[in-house]
Amino acid sequence: MRSSTPDIYEFARLDFDRDRRTGFGETVYGPGKTAGQLAEIFAAFRRKGRPVLATRVSAEQAAALAERLPDACYDPVSRTLASAWRTRRPVSRLDGTTAVLAAGTADLPVAEEAAKTVEFFGGRVERFYDVGIAGLHRLLGVIGKVRKADVVIAAAGMEGALPSVVAGLVSAPVIALPTSVGYGCGAGGVAAVLSMLSSCAEGVTVVNIDNGFGAAVAACRILRNRRA
């Protein structure tokens, strides 16, 4: 239901000024919202001529939105929903490249959330997937390309060792992205995040479990504020 104030709803107060304050516009968290609420939010951003990204959107939500948002793009792997219309204020380009690494195939949903978010905010992404330390030769086979990146996001579950190994091999900032992948004592990613927080490689930055979006925004902030 609409309030008397434009773009303010009983369920959301949309922040159209966030890009001016932080350099990045508001992103919508999908879980807990109905398809109707998501459609209203996307429509409000469209009226403002601004792009919008929603994360953790389920396949069921996307299916319900297909007719109401025909020009929005849903990616089932990353579970992101992005506006595809031309805007008066397009997302600006970021100088530099982000390398997104995933230890295994099971880490792809979180890694792709990071990759799609960086791309949405105007960054270039190079993907290096299934390069976990269980087969170290796979990482070493691409490390020359990874070294060319300006910032690295390394996603891993299990014991979460990939970011530490990568940080010992590259000069770029490394953002460790723990995933909830793993057997029982992995405790849904707790083992991975504790391992990453305890890394012996200097300067590794760690985000929360499965927080591909947060890792991506951290990478974008580094790219936007880096100096030649």
CATH number at residue 191: 3.40.50.1970
Strands 53-55 and 80-83 come out as: antiparallel
The pairing of strands 205-206 and 151-156 is unpaired
- Whether residue 109 is found in the same domain as residue 41: no
Q: From 83, 110, 131, give the residue that closes a domain.
A: 83
Taking only the tens place, the pLDDT of each residue in 60-101 is 999 998 888 888 899 999 999 998 654 445 556 788 999 999
Report pLDDT for 4.
47
What are the pLDDT digits (tens) for 124-181? 999 999 999 999 999 999 999 999 999 999 999 999 999 999 999 999 999 999 999 9
Residue 69: per-residue pLDDT: 85
In a domain, 42, yes or no: yes
Give the span between the Cα atoms of 67 and 208, in whole angstroms.
Answer: 34
Residue 3 in any domain: the answer is: no
pLDDT tens profile 167-197: 999 999 999 999 999 999 999 999 999 999 9
Do 49 and 102 lie in one domain? The reply is: no
Residue 150 near residue 226, CB atoms below 8 Å: yes
Instruction: Kindly report the pTM of this predicted structure.
Output: 0.90
Boundary (domain end) residue, out of 61, 83, 105: 83
Instruction: Give the range of the structural domain holding residue 75, as residue numbers without chain letter.
Output: 18-83
Q: Is residue 51 pLDDT above 70, yes or no?
A: yes
Rounded mean pLDDT, 208-228: 90
Residue 1 lies in a domain: no
pLDDT tens, position by position, 86-95: 444 555 678 8
Query: How far is it, in rounded angstroms, from Cα 89 to Cα 105?
Result: 36
Q: Which of 40, 56, 83 is the last residue of a domain?
A: 83
57 and 130 belong to one structural domain: no
Co-location of 122 and 170 in the same domain: yes
pLDDT of 117 above 90: yes
Split into its structural domains, the chain has a count of 2
Classify residue 13: in a domain, yes or no. Answer: no
Q: Are 151 and 172 in contact (CB under 8 A)?
A: yes
Q: Are residues 57 and 117 in the same domain?
A: no
Q: Which residues of 203-218 are buried (b: 16+ CB within 10 A; e: fewer)?
A: ebbbbebbbbbbbbbb
